[in-house]
Amino acid sequence: MQESVDTILQGIKWIIPEIILATAFLVILVIGLIKRGNSLVKGLTIIVFAGVFILVASDLYTTSPIVFGMLRVESVSSFIKLLLNFSALFTCLISTRVKEHLSEYFAFLIAIVLGAHLLTMTSNFLMIFISIEIISISSYVLAGYAFDKKGAEGSLKYFLFGSVSAAVMLYGFTFLYGLTGTIDFANQTFTSALLDSQNALAYLSIFFVFAGFLFKISSSPMHFWAPDVYNAAPAPVVAFFSTVPKLAGLVVFVKFLLAINLFGQTSLNWQLYLAAIAIATITVGNFAALKQNSVKRMMAYSSIAQAGFLMIGLIVFLPQGIHFFLFYATAFVIGNLLVFLYINSFENGGTTTIAEYAGFGRTFAIPIVFLLIGLVSLTGLPPTAGFTAKLFLFSSVWTAFEQQGHTILMVLLIVGLLNTVVSLFYYLRIPYYAFLKDGKPAFSHNILHFENFLGAFLVVMLLILFFQPGLLMSWINKINFVL
Amino acid sequence: MIDTLTMMILLGAFLFTTGVVIIVTKKNAIMMLLGIELMLNASNINLVAFNQSHPATIDGQMFAIFVILVAVCETAIGLALVLRVYQYYQTSVPDELNELKG
C-alpha cells in the first residue's frame, strides 16, 4: 500500500501541466457560478495556457518513466503540447465576440487542451478512450456556441457522428484486448501476441480503431462532420478545432501505427491502406474546397486536405518522417491561425462568403496582405514555412520510395504534388476577390490594430521558418521518438 | 456445444449490429442515442467476457466501468443537444435539419 502511494507521489511531478489544466478548469467553472459574465476568466485562461506553455517548453527533452502505468512524458508529445497550448492561447486572444456563458466557454477550451495533453502522452486503450471522449464531449458543446439555429444543428450532427465513431473504435479496442490480453499497446506483450494472431479479426478490429482516430483528425472517409461543424461554429472555435484535436489525434495515431506495424513483420501492408486513405483525404478535401462559397466551409475542406498531408509524415515509417511531421505541424498551426485571425475579424463585421471580400484590398490593405501570406503558406509556396514543410514531407516520401520501393508511395508523391497545384486555386480566391474585384466592404471601421499586431508576429514566424528552417529543425532533430 | 466466451462474444456482436442497424434505419435522434448506447454496451460485454480469459489483471472490468461512466456523460450531452435542436426546429429528426448545406 505504502509502496503504491510512493509511486503515485513520485509520478505527480511529471504531470504538473495536466494538474494545472484540471485545476484551472474547475476554478473557472466555479468563478462562472459565482459571477456571470466575468471578464476575469479570459485573463485567467490566457495566463494558464501561457504558464503551461512555458512549463512544457522548459522541460522539452525529458523522458519520464511510465506515470501511473497510463501516461508517459516524452519529447514528441511535449513538442505537440507546445503547439496545442500555442493555438489555445491564440484562440483565447481572438475570442472577442463570445459574450454569453463566458466561463463555460473558456472552461471547455481548457478541458479540450487537457484531453489533448493526455491523448498525446498515452499508449493505453482506456486512457485513449477517455481522452478522446473528454475532447469530443467538450467539442460538441463548443460547436454550438453561436447560440443559433445553425449552431444547434451543427453540434447535434457532430455529436451523432462522433459518438458512433467512438463506439466503433471502442469495439475495436475490446477485440484487441481479447486477442492480446493487455490494454497497453506499447507493451511487449501486445506486440508479441499480435504477431501470433495475424488473422482477419485482428485486422478488422484495427480498422475499427482507425475509425475513431480518423474521425478525430477529420480524415477521409470520416470527414463528413467537418464542413457542417466548421460552418456553424464561431470562427475562434473553428481555428481551435482545426488544430488542437487534429494534432493530438495524429500523435496517438502514429504511436498506434508503429505498434501494429510490428517492426515491419506484419503480414498486411498497412502502408498501402494508409497511403490510400491519405490520397483520398487530400483529393476529397482539395476538390470539394474548390466549389465552396462560404469562407469557413472552404477552410473546413482545406483542413481536411491538410490532415492528409500531415498523415504523410506517419505513413513513410521513417524516423525523419516524424521530424518532418512535427515541422509540417508547426507550419500548419501558424498558417492556419493567421488565416483564422482575419477570417474571425472579418466575420465579426458580417463577411462570411468569399464574394463579399470584393474590394477589401483597398480598405484593409495590411490585413489582406497578411491573410495572403497565411494562405500562401497553407498552399506551400515560397517564401513561407509551408513551402519548406511540404518540401521536407515530399522528400521523405521520395526517400521512403527509394528504400522500400512501394509503388503506392510514388502515387502518393504525385497526387500530393498535383493537389498542391489544385489548392492554389481555392486558397487564392479570397485575395483575388479582395484585390481584383470591385466592391465596397459592408463595414469600414479600419481598426484592426490588435489583429495586425498578432498577424505580424505570425507572419514573421512563417518567414523565419522559411529562411532559417534550421532553427526549428535543430530543435526537432533532438527529439528521439521511441514507442 | 458452444463455450461461454463465444456465446458472450456473439451476444456482444448481436448488440453491436442491432445498434448499427438502429442508427442507420431510425430517423429520430433519440432512437439513434439508444443505438449508440447498445454499441457501447456490446463493448462492455466483450470487455468483461475477455477479462475471464486473461484473469491476471482486471483491466477489462475496469475498462467496462469507465465506459459506463462515459456513456452516461455522452447521453446527457446528447439529450441536451436534442432538446436545443427541438427548441429551434420543433423536430428531433436530423434529416429534417437543413440550415447547413454546401
- Reported as a pLDDT band with limits 50, 70 and 90, residue A440 is confident
* Residue B1, pLDDT above cutoff 60: no
Bridge partners of A71, per DSSP, are A67, A122
Range A123-146 average pLDDT: 93
* Residue A182, pLDDT above cutoff 80: yes
* Residue B9, pLDDT above cutoff 70: yes
Spatial distance between the Cα atoms of A390 and A267, rounded to a whole number of angstroms: 31
* Residue A189, pLDDT above cutoff 90: no
- Which A residues 189-248 touch B at CB under 8 Å? 227-228, 231-232
Nearest-CA residue of chain B relative to A164? B36
* Residue A163, pLDDT above cutoff 90: yes
- Chain B residue numbers with beta carbons less than 8 Å from the beta carbon of A166 are 74
Range A240-263 average pLDDT: 90
DSSP character string of A70-91? TB---HHHHHHHHHHHHHHHHH
Q: Which set of grid coordinates corresponds to residue A267?
A: 503480414
Q: Which set of grid coordinates corresponds to residue A356?
A: 463579399
Residue type present at position A80 = I
Share of chain B above pLDDT 90, in %: 72
pLDDT at residue number A258: 87
pTM above 0.90, yes or no: yes
Q: What is the pLDDT of residues B44-89, one digit of tens each?
A: 999 999 999 888 888 899 999 999 999 999 999 999 999 999 999 8
Range A326-333 average pLDDT: 94
Q: Closest partner residue to B77 among A140, A148, A152, by Cβ? A: A140
Q: Closest partner residue to A178 among B46, B73, B89, by Cβ? A: B46
- Reported as a pLDDT band with limits 50, 70 and 90, residue A38 is low
- Chain A residue numbers with beta carbons less than 8 Å from the beta carbon of B94 are 156-157, 160
* Residue A321, pLDDT above cutoff 90: no
B90–chain A nearest CA distance, Å: 11
Lowest mean pLDDT among A119-128, A350-359, B14-23, B85-94: A350-359
Task: Please state, in angstroms and as integers, the Cα–Cα distance from residue A50 to each residue in A47, A131, A361, B47, B101, following that order.
Answer: 5, 22, 34, 40, 38
- Which A residues 398-437 touch B at CB under 8 Å? none
Spans of all domains in chain B: 4-92
- Reported as a pLDDT band with limits 50, 70 and 90, residue A316 is confident
pLDDT at residue number B101: 66
pLDDT at residue number A442: 66
Asked if A126 reaches chain B (Cβ–Cβ under 8 Å), the answer is yes
Nearest-CA residue of chain B relative to A289? B102
Range A262-272 average pLDDT: 80
Spatial distance between the Cα atoms of A242 and A300, rounded to a whole number of angstroms: 8
Query: Crossing angle for the helix pair A149-180 and B29-53, nearest 10 degrees?
Result: 20
Q: Which set of grid coordinates corresponds to residue A22?
A: 484540471
Lowest mean pLDDT among A61-70, A192-201, A393-402, B26-35: A61-70
DSSP character string of A51-66? HHHHHHHTTTT--PPP
Average pLDDT of chain B to the nearest whole number: 90
Task: Please state, in angstroms and as integers, the Cα–Cα distance from residue A304 to each residue in A288, A409, A475, B12, following that order.
Answer: 10, 20, 28, 34
- Do residue B50 and residue A153 have CB atoms under 8 angstroms apart? no
- Domain B4-92, CATH: 1.10.287.3510
Task: Please state, in angstroms and as integers, the Cα–Cα distance from residue A160 to each residue in A165, A167, A193, A354, B21, following that order.
Answer: 9, 11, 34, 30, 14
- Reported as a pLDDT band with limits 50, 70 and 90, residue A361 is confident
pLDDT at residue number A237: 93
- Reported as a pLDDT band with limits 50, 70 and 90, residue A406 is confident
B16–chain A nearest CA distance, Å: 8
Spans of all domains in chain A: 272-483
pLDDT at residue number B102: 54
pLDDT at residue number A283: 93
Highest mean pLDDT among A96-100, A284-288, A316-320, A343-347: A284-288
* Residue B25, pLDDT above cutoff 90: yes
Range A207-215 average pLDDT: 92
Please give the ipTM for the structure prediction: 0.95
Task: Please state, in angstroms and as integers, the Cα–Cα distance from residue A124 to each residue in A112, A461, B41, B43, following that order.
Answer: 19, 35, 20, 16
Spatial distance between the Cα atoms of A92 and A28, rounded to a whole number of angstroms: 14
Rg for chain B, CA atoms, rounded: 17
- Eight-state DSSP code of residue B67: H
Residue type present at position A399 = T
Please state the φ and ψ torsions of residue A267, each to the nearest 5 degrees.
-85, -15
* Residue A474, pLDDT above cutoff 90: no
- Eight-state DSSP code of residue A14: G
Burial of A481 (0-12, 13-18, 19+ CB in 10 A): middle
Range A54-74 average pLDDT: 83
pLDDT at residue number A176: 93
Q: Closest partner residue to A152 among B23, B47, B85, by Cβ? A: B85
Average pLDDT of chain A to the nearest whole number: 89
Nearest-CA residue of chain A relative to B44? A174
- Which B residues 9-48 touch A at CB under 8 Å? 9, 12, 16, 19, 23, 29, 32, 36, 39-40, 42-43, 46-47
pLDDT at residue number A483: 62
Share of chain A above pLDDT 70, in %: 97
